Structure 1
Amino acid sequence: MKSSITFAARPRPIKRLLGTALAAVAAGALTWMAVGGGAASGASAAVADEAPGYAVEDFDYPQADKILAEKNILLKRGDGHITLADCVTGTGQLEVQARDKSKICFDVKGTSGWLTLELPSVYLIRGNDYTTEAEMTVGTEEQSYDIAKNAWTPVGESADDQAREWTLLELRTSK
């Protein structure tokens, strides 16, 4: 007795992938039609409402409230390239002398930076390798000072013939 064995043809991998892709496209089309032809429905709007918002940089100085409470220094806004730091000699920091405080230091990074703050009674600023400009005010009068590189520059009351107490409002740096 002869037995005959028949082998079914094996589908080729490409045909299998093509069939799977067509099934996925058909399922996607059915889903699209079920949701109303792509128009926003209540279900899709609810999901969108629960999504996290966009991250928007507001340039507020991080932990400014904590720094104000601990060190009595009001740091407002900046681009992150001028940051308050512990003073370390020989590190190329900007150094600020205020009458009611010990020396206050700032690290400077990048090719340019800015920081707005309110620091009263500032009378000296020591520059670093950056070109630095300091904006100060007393009453309604404003003054801009170019800070000498790697040297102390008299600003505020030490540069004022009336010796008024000036407040440092902004630092800008560039290389």
Structure 2
Amino acid sequence: MEDFGYPNAERILQEKKIKLIRGDGHLLLAECGNSSQRIKIWTRDGDFCFQANAKTAFVTMEVPKVFALETASRPISADLTAGAQKETVNVTKEGRQDGYQSVGEGSKGAETTLVELRVTG
């Protein structure tokens, strides 16, 4: 039975310090570049990207110190936590700041952990 565990999650955690838990296989960690399907996560420890290969996709994770999210063309939704507070942020190319959204410390809030990322269209 498929458990939706993220492939190579242990190796990614050791090499890149990104804890990927599970996903549907349509949102994959990728090199940052200029692809129209690129989704970029900005953290105080560095940035990293995902590549979407479907109109909808998700991945659950635990990535602390996130301060911004960026999408090149696909709308995304992200669940973030700061202490006991949970927040969902939607980012679109047509949205605020043309696909870039400050979160947590990036918007003068508390340190934020990204717990789920979804492509929504």
User: Same fold per TM (> 0.5)?
Assistant: yes
Count of aligned pairs: 117
Paired letter, 1:144: T
Q: Which residue identity lines up with residue 115 of structure 2 in the other structure?
A: L
Higher RCO (C-alpha under 8 Å, 6+ residues apart): 2
| Runs (5+) with no aligned partner, structure 2 | none
Residue matched to 2:110? 164
Tell me what 1:120 maps to: 64
1:89 CA displacement: 2.1
Pick aligned residue for 1:153 from 96, 101, 109: 101
- Structure 1 gap ranges (5+): 1-55
TM-score, length-scaled by structure 1: 0.63
Map of 1:66-81 to 2, 5 A cutoff?
66-81=11-26
Contact 2:35 2:72 in 1 (8 A): no
Percent of aligned pairs with the same residue? 35
TM-score by length of 2: 0.90
- Please name the residue that 2:7 is paired with: 62
Tell me if 1:100 matches 2:66.
no
Bigger share in strand: 2
CA distance in structure 2 between the partners assigned to 1:151 and 1:91 by the alignment: 12
Partner residue in 2 for 1:44: none
Find the structure with the greater CA-based Rg: 1
| Cα-Cα RMSD | 1.3
